[in-house]
Amino acid sequence: MIARIEKLLEYETGGDPMTRLKWTRKTLSKIAQELGRFGIQVSANTVGRLLRKMRYSLRVNRKAIAFKSAPDRNEQMLHIVALRKRFRRAGNPVVSVDTKKKELVGQFKNGGLAWSKSPVLVNDHDFRSTAVGMAIPYGIYDPTANRGSVFVGTSHDTAQFAVESISRWWHAQGSRRYPAARKLLILADGGGSNGSTCRLWKEQIQAEICDRYGISVTVGHYPTGASKWNPIEHRLFSEISKNWAGRPLDSYQTILNYIRRTTTLKGLEVMACLVRKKYHTGIEVTEEQMKQLRIVPARTLPRWNYTLKPRKNGN
């Protein structure tokens, strides 16, 4: 029964990458009704007990809203579900991408608890000046294969860094895992280095993925305030946070080792790579460059959904 519930909630689950809490938009009675269609007759209370066993959590109201919810949020969430199902049925890859929380590298306190004989001593202050450096983990998660790739940058979280990470993933893993695919779906947050209004993000996808590999890339952005529904948050980043909880990230090698050793009972495997390339901020993409992109806005909420296709005269 748990397997059937997991299937029902596959596209309806959100989660926090730090606290590792999971939740769903469906009510207990709705889940019970849908189970009934498969001949499984259970009460809403039974569904609640099973969800707790699956580590789903009840949520309380919390005063934290500082702005209005993004208009058309629900419509976009439904559109993303439809996109995921369409690409999956066609055998085309779907990846969820995002930047994990930046980490100071050094003998700094790391939240959480760890089984150890004695506590690990760390610095009493988290001064950036005493750090070895800054770790910027950019993740690509393939929910179909349950495989993750994390590229740990050392300079800046930029659109160029994000797209080059996805490009490297496609070259090393995606193209081999899906050799017949000519289309790729990317699920991304609405802001940051892979934001929906970032020109450099779109220009780099065109040049570094579409033109270079001859594939079309469809992008669906989660609305403002909905990033916790991005699968990478609760299916990859939360597991990494759990794995290194309570242990200081004293070197880049330590970070890579913890990421690579992150596994789950459902078979999650993660690759990690250190990226020492320097990425510069403030790179501007002109109107003329934007006109050269072969970008097709979607009919549904085009500000969040679009497809970039290879140019015949690409790189």
* pLDDT tens column, 191-217: 999 999 999 999 999 999 999 999 999
Banded model confidence at residue 45, pLDDT cuts 50, 70, 90: confident
Task: Give the side-chain half-sphere CA count within 13 A for 9.
Answer: 25
- Name the β-bridge partners of 138: 99, 151
DSSP string for residues in 46-75: HHHHHHHHTTB------S---SPPPTTHHH
Which helix H or strand E contains 14, and what residues bound it? strand 13-15
CATH of 73-308 among 2.40.128, 3.30.420, 3.30.56, 2.30.42: 3.30.420
Mean pLDDT of 42-46: 84
For residues 13 and 80, give the distance between their C-alpha atoms in angstroms, rounded to a whole number. Answer: 13
Mean pLDDT of 169-182: 97
pLDDT given for residue 65 in this prediction: 46
Banded model confidence at residue 267, pLDDT cuts 50, 70, 90: very high
The answer to whether 164 touches 208, Cβ cutoff 8 Å, is: yes
Question: What is the widest separation between alpha-carbon atoms in the chain?
Answer: 62
Banded model confidence at residue 66, pLDDT cuts 50, 70, 90: very low
Q: Which residues contact 76 (CB under 8 A, 6 or more apart)?
A: 70, 220, 221, 222, 223, 226, 300, 301, 304, 305
Q: What percent of the chain has pLDDT over 70?
A: 89
Q: Where are the domains of the chain?
A: 2-53, 73-308
DSSP structural state of residue 120: P
Banded model confidence at residue 69, pLDDT cuts 50, 70, 90: low
User: Is the per-residue pLDDT at 64 higher than 50?
Assistant: no
User: Is the per-residue pLDDT at 298 higher than 50?
Assistant: yes
Span 216-249, pLDDT tens digits: 999 999 998 898 999 999 999 999 999 999 889 9
Mean pLDDT of 149-153: 98
Task: Report which of residues 58 and 215 the model is more confident about.
Answer: 215
User: Is the per-residue pLDDT at 159 higher than 70?
Assistant: yes
Q: What percent of the chain has pLDDT over 90?
A: 65
pLDDT given for residue 143 in this prediction: 97
Residue 121: burial class (beta carbons within 10 Å; 0-12, 13-18, 19+): exposed
Other CB atoms within a 10 A radius of the CB of residue 210 amount to: 24
Please tell me the least confidently modeled range out of 98-107, 110-119, 153-162, 250-259: 110-119
Considering only CA atoms, which of 30, 22, 80 is closest in space to residue 51? 22
CA separation, residue 168 to residues 42, 185, 198, 272 (Å): 46, 16, 20, 12
The answer to whether 190 touches 220, Cβ cutoff 8 Å, is: no
User: Is the per-residue pLDDT at 304 higher than 80?
Assistant: yes
How far from chain centre, in Å, is Cα 20?
14
pLDDT given for residue 18 in this prediction: 61
pLDDT given for residue 314 in this prediction: 52
